[in-house]
Amino acid sequence: MDAAARNLVRRRADDRCEYCLLRQEYSHLAHHVEHIVAKQHGGSDDPTNLALACHRCNHCKGPNLTGFDRESGRIVPLFHPRRDRWTEHFAWRGPRIEGLTAIGRVTVVVLGMNDARRLDLRAALLARGEFA
């Protein structure tokens, strides 16, 4: 992937993780340009298959495309930043991200979006008025 594609993805995402919405400036590690559909599953470097992800979302997502939704008992796709609208699948509950749909619920679980470190960081940012 070339520098122009990486820059396009960062600008398009406004330097925010497209999964948990953490801004790059609040992360100790650089956000990654990740393949929504991993290359091992036939994904390409086309910008429509690229998203900006914080280190934790990218690490937890890995090559996963789906997850098990305990509520419906089905395997469902993960949130797809190019196809899906964040506000249709997720909502803020203080520092927590709540999955509103099966896609949202499995994405929250698979990406570990509400692990203790993330909740602590978001709570601190919220208290300072720096996270929305």
Q: Is the model's pTM score more than 0.85?
A: yes
Report whether pLDDT(131) > 90: no
As a whole-number percent, the residues of the chain with pLDDT over 70 amount to: 98
For 59-70, how does the pLDDT look when each residue is reduced to its tens digit (9 = 90+)?
A: 999 999 999 999
Looking at the chain, the whole-number percentage of residues with pLDDT higher than 90 is 92
Residue/partner pairs of 107-112 with CB below 8 Å, 24 or more apart? 107/19, 107/67, 107/78, 107/79, 109/67, 110/60, 110/61, 110/64, 110/67, 110/78, 111/19, 111/20, 111/56, 111/57, 111/60, 111/61, 111/78, 112/56, 112/60
One-letter amino acid of 18: E
* Average pLDDT of the residues in 17-46: 94
